[in-house]
Amino acid sequence: MTYVDLRTKKNDIILIQVLLLFKLSLLFSMILLSSCGMGTLYGPSYYQDTALGEGLSRVTFRGGYHPATGELCLLRCAEVCLEQGFSHFEVVDSETGSSLESRVTFYPFDRHYPSRDPFMDDIPFVAKTIRMVKEKPKESFAYDAREIRSSLGRKYEIK
């Protein structure tokens, strides 16, 4: 083998290594970016729990989109019920609505002058006051907290 052949093989190996590194970095970037924006609709930043008395709580869920907001609030009610050592809960009051918020944005070329975005975000909320009980009442309807947590957790892929 001549010096030119060895140098060509060395360049080929380096080229293959560079291409492999490029492909791996591209794959890693795609995986990393694919997880962006795929956040969950469910988490502590979306709900608030307030104890109102023995076996009585108010659960508010804010965010997401209208059909899911009610179910996710119900899911959080089931979790609060189970965390407090109860098995069933009754919804004694429920409130739904939306709040409009505008976002603060900046002029494109100067980040020192904030302006109000002309677009408004419609943020749905659901608030439920629940009475938690140890056993299913015979005279009224009550949700089974384990069943709600299982079915809605499965539906929204929440563990």
pLDDT, tens digit, for every residue of 51-110?
A: 999 999 999 999 888 788 999 999 999 999 999 999 999 999 999 998 876 655 555 555
pLDDT, tens digit (0-9, with 9 covering 90-100), for 9-56: 777 788 788 777 777 776 666 665 544 443 567 888 889 999 999 999
Which pLDDT band, with edges at 50, 70 and 90, does 159 fall under? Answer: confident
Q: Identify the pLDDT of residue 22.
A: 73
Q: Rounded to 5 degrees, what angle do the CA atoms 152, 122, 119 make? A: 145
- Secondary structure (3-state) at 60: strand
Q: Identify the pLDDT of residue 2.
A: 59
Averaged pLDDT of the chain: 81
Query: What one-character DSSP code corresponds to residue 117?
Result: E
65-68: which pairs have CB atoms within 8 A and are 24 or more residues apart? 65/41, 65/124, 66/98, 66/124, 68/41, 68/156
pTM comes to 0.67
User: What are 80's two structure tokens?
Assistant: 């609060």
Range from 29-43, 107-121, 124-138 that averages highest in pLDDT: 124-138
